[in-house]
Structures are given as structure tokens and as C-alpha cells.
Structure 1
Amino acid sequence: MRILSNYLVNPLSVIIATLFTFINFLVILLPFHVTLILFLDSQSNFDLSNNIFIYTMIFMFIFTLIYLCLDFYYGFTIKTIIKGCLEIKTIPELDFLQKNFDETIKNFDLKNVTFLLQESKEINAFAVLSLRKKYVIITTEMVEHILKSFDTQEAQDKAFQGLIAHELSHLINWDSLPNLILLSGQVVAVILSNILTFVSTLVIRIISIIPIVSLFAVIVTYIFLFLQFCLNMIYSFILQPLYLLIERFFGRVIEHRSDYQSAKALSWESMYLCLNSLMALNGNTFNSSFSTHPSTINRILHIYKIEKSPENIEVSFFSKYFSLILVFASLVLSIYFLVMNFNHLNYLNEILKDYLALFYSSTKDLLFYIHETKLYLPIVVAIIAAFLTFYILKKISLFVKKIYVSKNLNRSENTPIDFLLLYAIQNNDLNAFLNILKSGANIDMIFEGHTIETYAQHMNPKFLKHIEKIKG
């Protein structure tokens, strides 16, 4: 996992963002392309339709890459995001915040970073960058929240430094670049969609004026709308959730890496205090496959007892610059193909025709085969069996972990993570409870004069059976 977070997660995120941008283009173009094919009789017209489709895809990709490069250099998107923000160093009452920033950035190999304040009721902080400028933005509500969460100046400063170091980790790893690729693709997709919609509407209206072919215009319109609806359904309910599943998995890995690098830059206490303040918001211990962040408990356990590194935080060349290398290589190859290699267009045309024909034939044959052999029943049984197997393996894993934790309990020494047990009980999260104990928390802790059993009896009586089994 450490190799994935340090070396591969950003390159993989960029590749997936690029592929999903391509898919977005396909969703826009395919209804127009297929509608044309249905009403073209001659082979030459069919080839012309395919050529237009291929050229449009290449043009969109090139335009996206050019827009991305310009955006990354000049920072169009970034300027929109930071609009209305104020430099913290220009606000006298936040001088302490700027001092924390100046102290923290010394631990990172970063330059030209501006610390900004955003007027917002959202408790948040984030980092964005262009090629020439980098920004860490913290909201007014986040500042107030941390100030209210701790009574001492020292604790407040450490929490701010942990938060700032986390955001600086995002900057040094260029974590915002995959989102820039998606945003650039969306800009191009919206422009092309508006152009195609305008052209198709104009053509259909012209055809509708002619009495003989007016019915043809209605048929074309309904076929196009049907194809668009089907593709949008596939995009919304299959492709987009699949992308979110992968993208948010990578996002959680990135958050763990930024927490870890923050702890390595300052030692674990600073990031611990920052995350501790977030626990007070909602007691979050839960996260799913679609969560944008790991659970706060897991984040705290991930950085617990990490010592400060004697060296500044750096990233690998591959992780940092792979994104730019991929973007520029794709741009050069696309332009080369479009300008210098026209002969390959017919080859691509043939591949596209063969693929569409094969896809249609294979899909039809597969559906008929499943229906005739009643294979859908074994498929449903296999899916149910897979879910049951996963559920049973999860229970077995939890049982084994419970036995291991029971044999290695801390029952005497209090630790900074003892309080996390209360949040795990409150959220009925046995796995988190075991992970906290495995990290060394004291199961016989006393919180505000109450034992953990008393707390469970009040907040979640059903959890008592787990505590009793673990204690033996």
C-alpha cells in the first residue's frame, strides 16, 4: 500500500481521469454517429460517418489537452477557485496562522506557495496549484473550529500545523492534476455538445419543413433521443459509479499518504490534534467504498506514533512528473496522427467497423444463449453465492482478529487513542473497535468517571457482548 500511495496513485489517477474523459466524449458523440449510420445506405457514406466520428474524437482530445496545458500554466480554473480569497499575511489578527504556515513549509521542498483565507461556513481546507503558483486555502469556519476545539495556544498551533502540512503534501504531489484533466474534458464536452445539439436541431427543423420527409425528421429525432437516453443511463448507473469507486479509493489512499507525510514532517502529535478536532464534528468512524475520505479513526491510527523525519518531505520524480509527461506525450502523438498520418485513418475506420459488428453479433449471440439455456438462473445463484462467501470471509476475519486482540490487550496504560473506543461503540463499529485495541488502546479506560462498559450500556447496549467476549 505504501508503494501504491507514494509512487503509483497519481499516475493511475491521471490515466483513469483521461480514460473517463474519453468515455464522456463517446457518450456525447455516439448518439449522433449511430443515428447517421442507421440512415446511410452506401458504403462510402458509412465510411464518411466513421471518419467524421474518429476525427471529432481526436480533435476533442487534442483540444482538451491544449486547454489543460494552458489552464495548468495560466491557472484559469485556479483563479476561479480562489476568487474572493484573502492572503492571510495581510490580515493582522491572523498573524499567528501565517507564522504556523511559515514554520511548517520549512519541512517541504516547496516554493511560491500562498496561504489564503476563504470566507465560508464550511469547515474545510484544500490545496490547488498551477505550474507557476500554488495555494493552500483555509476557510474562516475551519479557523474558528480549531480555535474553539483547544484551550491552549500550543495545541491550537500544532493542530493548524498538522492541517497545513497535510495540504502541503497535496501540493508537493500535484494531487489536483487529475481533477484538472476532468474539468478540462468537461469544458470541451459542453462546448461540443452545444454545437452538435444546435446543428442537429437546425437540420431537423429544415427537414421538417419539407412535407415529404417531415416524418423522417420525427423518426430521426426519436431515435436520437432514445440512443441518448440509453447511453446516459449506462453512463449514470454503470460507468460513473465505477469511476467514482476507483477514484474515491485512490482518494482515500491519497488522504492517508498526506496524513502520513504531515506526521513525518512534524511528528504524529500535530496531525493527531487536527484529526481529533474533526472527530468532534460527527464522531466519524464509518467509511464506504464511495467515501471521499477514510474514516477519521483509521486516519488517526494510521499516523499514531509516527516520528518526525530528519529530512524534508520529497516525492519521487515518477509520481510527480508522470502526469505532465503523459499529457504532453498524448498531445504530440495526437497531433502527429492528425496532421502527418492520414493513411492510418482508413485503418482505424476498418477497426471501428469490425469492432461494432463483432460487438453487436457477440452481444446478440450471448443473450440468445443465456435465454435458451436458462443460464440466467446459475448466474443469479453465482452472484448470491459470491456475496455470501464475501460475507462469511468477512465474519471469519473479524473473529480471528477478535481472538488476536483478546490475547494482546492493554489493560493498564492509558494512551492518547483511548477515547476512540467510545466513538467506535457509539457507531456500532466492531472492526474499528478492534483496530483501536490492536494499536494499543486501554480497554479498561476510565472516561469522565465511567468505565467503557458503563458508556456502552448508555450509548449502545448491544455492544456489551463484544466487550465481554474480548475481555474474556
Structure 2
Amino acid sequence: MRILANYFANPISVLIATIFTFINFLVILLPFHLTLILFIDSQSNLDLSNNIFIYTMIFMFIFTLAYLCLDFYYGFTIKSFVKDCVQIDKIPELGFLQKNFDETIKNFKLKNVEFLLKDSEEINAFAVLSLRKKYVVITTGMIDHILKSLNTHEAQDKAFKGLIAHELSHLINWDSLPNLILLSGQVVAVILSNILTFVSTLVIRIISVIPIVSIFAVVLTYIFLLLQFLLNMVYSFILHPLYLLVERFLGRLIEHRSDYQSAKALSWESMYICLNSLMALNGNTFNSSFSTHPSTINRILHIYKIEKSPENIKVSFFSKYFSLILLFASLILSVYFLLVNFNNLNYLNEILKDYLALFYSNTKDLIFYIHETKLYLPILASITAAFLSFYIFKNILLFIKKVYVSKNLNRSENTPIDFLLLYAIQNNDLNTFLNILKSGANIDVVFEGHTIETYAQHMNPKFLKHIEKIKA
């Protein structure tokens, strides 16, 4: 999993963002195209309509890539993120923060990075970049939180350094590029949607004033609205959730990677102190498939006892430049097809028509077959059996982990992660409790004269049986 995070998470995110941008264009164009096809009565007109559709898609893709290249070089979008920010080195009372930044960036192969302050109560920090500018931004809310959460200057400095190193990892890996692709695609999509809406509205109004064919305008409008509604439903309830599922899974891997590189740059204590200060904000041990970040406990366990690397943090060529290679290759191929390979357009047109006809026919046949043979009952039973098998398998793995942890318990030496056991008990999260013990936490630790059994008795009596079984 760490290899996936270090080398492939960001390239895959860029690829998915590019594909999803293309899907956005389809959702905008298809209602217009399908509405027009319904009223075409000749093969030549159908070919013309398909050619216009294909050319528009290619043009939108080229325009998006061109806009993205300009945006990545000049930083239009990035400027909107940092327009209200102030350089920290110009704020005398934050000199300690600039000092932490200057000491931390020495561990990364990065130059010309500006450290900015955003006046916001939100507890947050982020990193954004263009080809010429790189920024690490921290909010006043985050600064106040760390200063209030930690009592000593040494702990505060370590927490700030861990946070800064985490954001520098995002910069050195160009992690903001997938979002930049989506934002560029959205700009182009909005422009095209406005143009198509204006043209279609104008045509419908012209048709509606002609007495004989005015009913045609009404029918055309309702068909278009129906198709648009159906496609938006598919997009909202199927495509977008699937995209979020994959994108946020990769995002959690990227967060783990940035934590890891922060620990490698400074040693684990700095990132540990930073994450520890966030536990009061996010004491929940759970994270779902749609969570944007891993749980704070998982993040702490992920970097626990990682030693400082003797070398500066750097990334592989593939991980960093695959994004640009993919984008420039897509741009060149699209321009080549549009300008040079014109003769293949009719061939692509035929493929598009054949595919749509085949998809419609096969879908219709499959639905009728399932209905006539009552195949939906075995399908429903198979899905239920699959979920049940997954549940049983999950519990078997949990039992095996419980046995393993029980045989390798730390019952004597206190560790910095012992307090995490209390959060797992509070949240009734046995899996996380076992992971903490597996990482070396002391199950017999005493907090202010109380054992974890006493704590469980007070906060979550049901969890006592797990503790007793693990100790036994």
C-alpha cells in the first residue's frame, strides 16, 4: 500500500480526473445530441450530427488541456486561492513560524516556496502550486489551535515543523494537479453549457413563433429537459459517487504518504505531536470509504517510530512528471486527430453509431431476459450471500488478529501511543484497539491512577469483554 501511495496514487488521480472531465463534457453534450437525433430523418443529416458531436467533444478536450497548460503556467486558479493571504516573513510576531519553515524546507528539494498566512478561523493548512509559483498556506485558526493545545515552545515548534513538512510533501509531489484539471474542465464545461443553452433557447423561440410548427418547439423542449434530467440522475447517483469513492481512497493514500515523508524528513515525533494536537478535533477512530482523510489514529500509527532520513526528500520521475506527460500526450493526439487525421472521422462516426445501437439492443434484451426467467431472484440471493460472506470473512480476520495480538502484548513498557486506546474504547472500535496494541501500546497502562478497564467500565462497559479476552 505504501508503494501505491508513493509512486502511483497521484498519477492515477490525474488519470481519473482527466477521464471524469471528459464524462462531464458528455453529460452536457449528450442531451442536445440525442434530442437532435430524434428528429433527423436522413442518413446524411445523422452523419452530420454525429460529426458535430465528435468534433465538439474533441474541441472541448483540446480547449481544456490548453487552458490547463496556461493555468498551470500563469496560475490563474492558484491566485484565487492565495489572493487574501499575507507573507508570514512580513509579520514580525510570526517570526518563529518563518524560522520553522526555513529549517524544515532544507529537508526537501524545493525552491521558491512562499509561506503565507490566511486570516480564517478554520483549522487548516494547504499547499498549491503552478509551474512558476509554490505556496504553503496556514490559517490563523490552525496557528491558534497548536499554540493553545501545546504547552512548551519545543512541542509547538515540532508540531509546526511536522505540519509544514506534510504540506511540502504535497508540493513536491504536485498533489494539487488533479483538482486543477477538474477546475479547468469545469470552466470549459460552464462556457460550453451557456453557449449551447443560448443557441437552443434561441432556436426554440424562433420555431415557437411559427404557427404550424410551434408544437414542435414544445415537444423539443420537453424531450431535451427529460434527457437532461435522466443524464443528471445517472451522473449524480452513479458516476459522481463512483468517482468520489476512488478519488477519496487515493486521497487518503496521499495523506498517508505526506505524513510518511514528513516523518522521514524530521523523524516521527514532529508529525506525531502535530497529529496529537488534532485528536481533540477528531477523536473518532472511524473513516468511511467516502472520508477525505484517514482517521487521525491511523495516521499516527502509520508514522510511529519512523526515523529521519539522512537524505533530502525527493520523488520519483514517474510520480512527479507522469501528469504532465499524460496531459501533453493527450493534447498532441487530440490536435493530430482534429487537424491531420480528418479521414478517420467517418470511421469513428460509424463506430459510435454501431456501439450505441449495440448497447441499446443488448441492454433491452438483458432486461427482458432477466424479467422473463425471474433471474433477479438468484441475483438478489447472490448479492445477499456476497455481503454475508464478506461479513463472516471480516469477523474471521478480526478473530485472527485478536489471537495474534493477545500472544504479543506489551504489558510493561509505556509508549507515546497508549492514550489512543482510550479513543478506541470510547468509539467501541475493536479493530483500531487491536491495531494500537499491535503497534506496541501497553494494555496495562495506568492513566491518572486508572487502568483501561476502569476507563472502559465508565465510558463503554460493553468493551470490557474484549479487553478481558485479549488479556486472557
Q: What is the TM-score normalised by the length of structure 1?
A: 0.99
- Tell me the residue number matched to 1:60: 60
For 1:73-84, what aligned pairs fall within 5 Å after superposition? 73-84=73-84
Taking the aligned partners of 1:110 and 1:313, their CA distance within structure 2 comes to 9
Q: Distance in 2 between matches of 1:160 and 1:457?
A: 37
Hey, what does 1:108 align to over in structure 2? 108
What letter matches 2:329 in structure 1? A
Superposition deviation, residue 282 in structure 1: 2.9
Partner of 1:117: 117
Matched-pair contact (CA < 8 Å) for 2:282–2:296: no
Is contact 2:33–2:49 with CA below 8 Å preserved after alignment?
yes
Identity rate, percent = 86
d(CA) in 1 for partners of 2:387, 2:109: 47
Deviation, 1:211, is 1.2
Letter in 2 for 1:217: A
**Counterpart residue number, 1:316:** 316
Which residue in 2 is equivalent to 1:44?
Answer: 44
Alignment-derived partner of residue 391 in structure 2: 391
Task: Provide, for residues 52-71 of structure 1, a one-character-per-residue CA deviation record: whole Å limited to 9, x for no partner.
Answer: 00000000000000000000
Decide whether the 8 Å contact of 2:147 with 2:156 is kept in 1.
Answer: yes
1:245 paired with 2:228, answer: no
Cα offset, 1:333, TM superposition: 1.1
Superposition map of 1:138-177 within 5 A: 138-177=138-177
Alignment of 1:398-437 (within 5 A): 398-437=398-437
Offset, 1:462:
1.0
**Deviation per residue, 1:191-218 (Å, 9 max, x gap):** 1011111111111111111111111111
Partner residue, 1:337:
337
Do residues 5 (structure 1) and 5 (structure 2) align?
Answer: yes
> In the TM superposition, what is the alpha-carbon distance from 1:8 to its structure 2 partner?
1.0
- Deviations, residues 404-426 of structure 1 (Å, cap 9, x unaligned): 11111111100000000001111
Look up the match of 1:460. 460
Give 1:284 deviation, angstroms. 2.6
Match of 1:221? Answer: 221
Alpha-carbon displacement from aligned partner over 1:426-449 (angstroms, at most 9, x marks no partner):
111110000000000000111122
Look up the match of 2:91.
91
Please state whether the residue corresponding to 1:396 is helix, strand or coil.
helix
Tell me the CA shift for residue 261 of structure 1: 0.3
Aligned to 1:297: 297
| Aligned residue number for residue 187 of structure 1 | 187
Match of 1:137, SS state, is: strand
Structure 1 residues 271-290: aligned runs within 5 Å: 271-290=271-290
The one-letter code of the counterpart of 2:89 is: K
Deviation at 1:315, TM superposition (A): 0.2
**2:365 corresponds to:** 365
For 1:143, the aligned partner's letter is I
1:2 shift after superposition: 2.1
Does the Cα contact within 8 Å between 2:415 and 2:440 map onto a contact in 1?
A: yes
Q: Tell me the SS of whatever aligns to 1:138.
A: strand
Pairwise CA distance, 1:345: 0.6
AA paired with 2:61?
A: F
Cα distance in structure 2, aligned partners of 1:364 and 1:448? 68
The residue identity in structure 2 corresponding to 1:327 is: L
Deviation at 1:340, TM superposition (A): 1.2
Cross-structure match for 1:137: 137
SS at match of 1:410: coil
The answer to whether structure 1 residue 126 and structure 2 residue 126 are counterparts is: yes
**CA–CA separation in structure 2 for the residues paired with 1:275 and 1:125:** 13
Number of equivalences? 472
Shift of 1:387: 0.8
**Partner SS state of residue 458, structure 1:** helix
For 1:231, the equivalent position in structure 2 comes to: 231
Give the distance between the partners of 2:2 and 2:295, measured in 1 at CA: 18
Query: SS in structure 1 opposite 2:128?
Result: strand
How far 1:230 moved relative to its partner? 0.5
Query: CA-to-partner distance for each residue in 1:88-130, whole Å, 9 max, x for gaps?
Result: 0000000000000000000000001000000111100000000
- Give the conservation status (yes or no) of the 8 Å contact 2:72–2:131: yes
Ranges of 4+ aligned residues in structure 1 off by more than 4 Å: none
2:266 partner amino acid: L
Q: Does 1:263 align with 2:260?
A: no
Q: Distance in 2 between matches of 1:69 and 1:284?
A: 40
The amino acid across from 1:288 in the alignment is S
Question: For 2:291 and 2:393, how far apart are their aligned partners in 1?
Answer: 23
Letter paired with 1:392: I
Matched, 1:197 2:197: yes
CA distance in 2: counterparts of 1:365 and 1:376, whole angstroms: 14
The one-letter amino acid of 2:38's match is L
Alignment partners' CA distance in 2, 1:114 and 1:285: 34
For 2:211, the equivalent position in structure 1 comes to 211
**Secondary structure of 2:280 counterpart:** helix
In the aligned structure 1, how far is the partner of 2:53 from the partner of 2:82?
38
Tell me the alpha carbon deviations over residues 1-24 of structure 1, each in whole angstroms, 9 at most, x when there is no partner: 122111111111111000000000
Deviation at 1:461, TM superposition (A): 1.1
CA deviations on 1:124-155 (whole Å, 9 max, x unpaired) are: 00000000010000000000000011110000
8 Å contact from structure 2 (residues 251, 293) kept in 1 = yes
Stretches of structure 1 lacking an aligned partner (at least 5 in a row):
none
Supply the AA of the counterpart residue of 1:5.
A
Return the offset for 1:366: 0.5
Gaps of 5+ in 2: none
SS at 1:280's partner residue? coil
1:281 partner SS: coil
TM-score (structure 2 length as normaliser): 0.99
Quick one: distance in 1 between partners of 2:385 and 2:97?
A: 55
In 2, Cα distance between equivalents of 1:282 and 1:52: 51
2:362 and 2:29 mapped to 1: Cα distance? Answer: 23
Q: 2: CA distance between counterparts of 1:388 and 1:208?
A: 58
SS in 2 for 1:151: coil
Counterparts of 1:198 and 1:389, CA distance in 2: 53
